[in-house]
Each structure stands twice: as structure tokens, then as C-alpha cells.
A and B are shown apart, each in its own frame.
Chain A
Amino acid sequence: MSTLLSVSGLTTRLLTPAGLLAAVEDVDFTLDERDSLGLVGESGSGKSVTMRSLLRLLPQRAEVEGSVRWRGRELVGLPENALRALRGREIAMIFQEPMSALNPVLRIGLQIEESLKVHTDLDRAGRRARAVELLALTGIPTPERRLDDFPHQFSGGMRQRAMIAIALAASPALLLADEPTTALDVTIQDQILHLLARLRREMGMAMILVTHDLAVVAESCERVAVMYAGRIVERGTVRQVFAAPRHPYTLGLLRSVPDGDRPRQKLRSIEGTPPGLGNRTRGCAFQPRCGFATAQCATDRPPLADIAPGHAAACWQAGRLTDLSREAA
């Protein structure tokens, strides 16, 4: 499989009242065609900013450094016009809150058709037909009658389906999904995840899914990257990372998820809070909350290093973590 997206050294600084601060630092990952990557982390860990940096959908005063290569073409520093041609057509994005991401004053049909108008040669009738097709594809009943509805006339799950239909209008090769199920009821969440999986299969699309829910990653992704305080601290296949986490933060996350397959055990939460943008330290950012920290962790930042083929972690203790955690438990 060929590489679709390759990100290296991605650093994004946002303008805050305290000046330009890095929300994302030195992020590396690659994505193949039809691949799926789960980007996991707490609020403020930089996962959404990472995704927005790819398409440069950031607040006006933000700086992006590093390299984002799309099919070999560098996107960082690409003029706005060239980037715009890519948005929606090759890389599409969906958001957490369909109610606020859909424009409340425009009909659903128009919101699909305007995307088709930019990215395809279809005429008016053709765009309308394609819009009906897209709504049907995303499982909206009687689509031809819903085209002229406004977003507030849709239910929560329907809105998310409509947003997916809009995003997929131009058949993109990569879908960036920013917490697409967080705002939904559990049953609807599952429907939407299945819908995304089916659409991905049918359209041969790659996906980056941002979430804070490990269960969602386990269900929908092949690979996972865990972010903490703006950096990737561990990445690998879902199987590798879930079976043998090599970063204490990942370990903490996994222990705080209830697992029906395992014998009943106490759920643990991670003590403390992640550092704010302004006060990130020289050493490992997770060190203050880490149960395995050594003196070295406070002064030197561990690099993201390979542990096994395709599995990397940024922890000085990565090699010994499995043993250490057994001792502790």
C-alpha cells in the first residue's frame, strides 16, 4: 500500500493571551491508503489541533511548522488557494457537534450542493441527484424530501449523518473525524461508527479518528496514536498498544476503561491534570502524574522510540513498563 499522508515534526503554535504557545509539538505519523488511525487523548492534548493543522483550519493567528506530505506533496506553506482545492475534495473533515457545524440558516440540500459545485462538474440537476444519493448512502430515509429541510428539523443522529454526507460529497481519500460520536447517545454512537466503517469500505477511504474514547478506537481503527500535552507519547497497531502499552499514560487510560471480557477489577483513574499550554516542562510532560517516574524523567524528555516494528513509545521506562506495572499491581 502506498503512503497517503506523512507528517513529521509538526508543531503548531496558537496565539493566547500569554503569547504564541505550542499546542502541538513535534508530531510524527504516517497513514497509508485505506488506513485508519485513532488519535487519542484528553481535552487539550492537541489532537484536534493536530487534525486542523493538516488542513490549516486554525484561528487566524497560528503558526504551523514541520512537514505534512499528502501523496508526496508538501502542504505546509502551500498557498491558501491550492490548499482549498484539496479541502473537501481529497481530505474532508467532520466535527463533534453536528448542530453547530451545520449552518442553521441554510437548507441541508444547499449545504451538500455547494460542496459539489466547487469540486465537481455536475450541473444543477446532477448536483441535486447526487445530494439525494449521498443522503441515502448515509442512511437518511426519504432523502429527496429531506433536502429542503433545515438542520434544526433533523434529529441528533440524522444531523451527524447529514454532516457525513456533506463531507463525503466529493468522495475524498481521507476523512478527518473530530470526535464524531461524542455528542450522541450511546446507541446512535454505535450506528454512526458502523456507518463510518461501511462508508470507508465502500469508498476505499482512509480515516483519522480523534476521540477520547478507547473503545471507539478499538472498534473502528487499525492503528492508534496516543497524545499527551501536545505530543504523541505512544503509537502502534491497536493490537500492539492495547495488549502491551509501553507508556504509563496509555496504561492508565486502558486501566480506566471498563472491560467486559476481563474479570472484574477496580477501575483506576490517573491522578492529577495535564499541564496547561503555558507551563510545559523540560522533562517528560507526564512525569508529575507518573507512578514510574525517575530522576531522569524530570530533566530529559524521552524521544518517541521504536520498541517493536511499528510500535513506538516516548518513555525512558518503555522496555520495563510491563514488568513494573505487574509489580505495582
Chain B
Amino acid sequence: MSAGALPFEPAKATPTRRRKLALPGALIAGLLILAFSLTLAFFPSLFAPFDPLKFDYKAILKPPSLAHPFGTDNFGRDMLSRTIHAYTLDMQIAFFATIVPMLAGTAIGTIVGYYGGLLETLFGRLVDGVITFPFIVLVIAIVAVLGPGLANMYVAIGLVGWVFYARLVAGEMKVQKRLDYADAGRVMGYGDMRIAFRHLLPNAVSPALVYWMTDMALCILLGTSLGYLGLGAQPPAAEWGVLIAGGKNFFTTAWWISIFPGIAIVLTGLGFSLLGNGLAELMKVKR
């Protein structure tokens, strides 16, 4: 405390211990699961013992064994190979379904948050409206109109999904633009777009990045659900939802067809959630 200061100011927390540099455990666990998922997604053939599409009528509905650790389906296809090959499609879904909404939503949120005013009011109304539609119902309705398939599913998710990113970024931008450094940019005579995107956005984007991880987990759930309903990826493609749907009629007799792809979904979703939680923790510490 400097001389002249009042003696009764609350004592500042003295940094008695060095701040831990260790990464959050959730982050590490999430990264490991994701690395595993990406490896399988990019190089499924290296790990899959069989061709995922090849019928083998001599090995129909075989329970898990050494030859087929996840068993076989009603066409004799190896479920381990199909589950592994599905990583390619499902990780694609997680990425492609979220990347456009993430980028577009962030850009729109930046502008809405920076200018505020009427734009913000209108945007608020839009958000109020969009959230009254059950997300999956709206996506299903759009897919129904456009026709089943992955491309149309991306369009449907994209039409709705950007709103959530925009809302997060706009909220954070409102906080950032009141801080001194935003004024400093204006004093320097920088243009609005430069201040908004180059100066403010990097500080406003972290909640959206954390949400991106959650969103990828949600989109895997959504994508597999649509696959299960026959509105997403189409058979015979290897996609977890499609695989589970393929096994639903045999669930009591050949549980393995549906069980293992489901475990892959849970594991991957868990990976994204853990990564999101870890990132959130990391950013909280940084602040």
C-alpha cells in the first residue's frame, strides 16, 4: 500500500502461490477423444478390418467375436468397420453443419453488437421468433421441403443455427465497445469495420468459440437423429444414426448392431463437450 492511501482499503489478494499453468483436465480429455475421432475419420481404412459395405451372407447377424468384435448386421457387414467408417461422415456433419453458421453468425453478431440501436432491436425480435420454433422441428420441416439428404440438412441447420452465434457475439460486443480501447481506436481514426472486426471481435469471440464445441456435439446428435429418421445421410452410407436405424428391428435379438454406433456417438459428443468445458475454464482463468 502506498503512503497516503487509507489504511483500511480491503487487502488485495496477495499472489502467494504461482498461478497453475496446468491445462484443465477436461480440455486434455476432450482433445484426446477428438484426436482419436479425427484419426479414425481421416484414415478409416487403416483401422477397419473389413470393407464397410461388403455383404457376407455366410456371417449374418453374428454376435461380437474375435473376428467381428462388434458383430455383424443382417447383411453380414462388419459392424466395427461400419462404425469406424461412420466417423468420416459424422465428423463431417459436426464440421460442415456448424462452420457456416458459426462464421456468418459471428460476422452478423459483430455488426449488430457494434452498431446496436434499431438493428439490435430488430435482431432481438428475430431471436425471440426463431427460438419459438423447436430447432429440430424447423430443421425437419425444411429438410422435408428440400428433400432428405445431408446437403439439405446443412442448409436447414445453417438457416437457423447462425442466430445463436450472433446472439452470443452481439452480447459480448456490447460489453467490449464500451471499454476504453474501443474509443482509442476511434481516436486513431480507424473505420468502424476495422475497429469492430480487428480490435473488438478478438476479445468478444471466445463465448462463441466455446459454443461452437457444444454446437458440434449438438449437431452430431441432430445429424444422427435425422439419419435415424431417414432424413439425413441415406443408406447404405455408414453413418451412426443410419446404422442404429438399421439395427432397430433386431434390437432384441442382435443388440450389437445398434449399441456400438451409439457408444461412438456418446464418446464423440463427450469429447466435444469436454473440450468446450475445458476451453471455457481456460478462458475464465485468462480473464
Contacts and interface: CB of A to CB of B under 8 A. Distances in A.
Q: Is chain B in direct contact with chain A in the complex (CB below 8 A)?
A: yes
Contact of A42 (B5, B11, B14, B16): B11
A30 B3 CA distance: 36
A2 interface: no
B198 interface: no
A18 B16 contact: yes
A256 B10 contact: no
Interface residues of A, number: 20
Given A44-B10, A269-B1, 4 more contacts: A212-B8, A252-B7, A256-B8, A270-B7
B14 A256 contact: no
A269 B17 contact: no
B1 A272 contact: yes
B179 interface: no
A185 interface: no
B137 interface: no
B286 interface: no
9 contacts: A17-B17, A42-B8, A43-B8, A43-B11, A44-B11, A269-B6, A270-B1, A273-B1, A278-B17
Interface string A267-288: 0011111111011000000000
Contact of A256 (B7, B13, B17): B7
B11 A269 contact: no
Interface of A: 17-18, 42-44, 212-213, 252-253, 256, 269-276, 278-279
A65 to B, nearest CB: 24
B54 interface: no
Nearest to B6: A269
Contacts of A272: 1
A256 to B, nearest CB: 5
B4 interface: yes
Nearest to B10: A43
A275 to B, nearest CB: 8
B181 to A, nearest CB: 30
Contact of B1 (A17, A271, A279): A271
Nearest to B20: A17
B58 interface: no
B15 to A, nearest CB: 9
A212 B9 CA distance: 10
A253 B10 CA distance: 14
A279 B13 CA distance: 12
A256 B8 CA distance: 9
B12 interface: yes
Interface string B1-41: 10111111011111011000000000000000000000000
A276 B13 contact: yes
Given A18-B16, A276-B16, A278-B17, A253 B11 contact: no
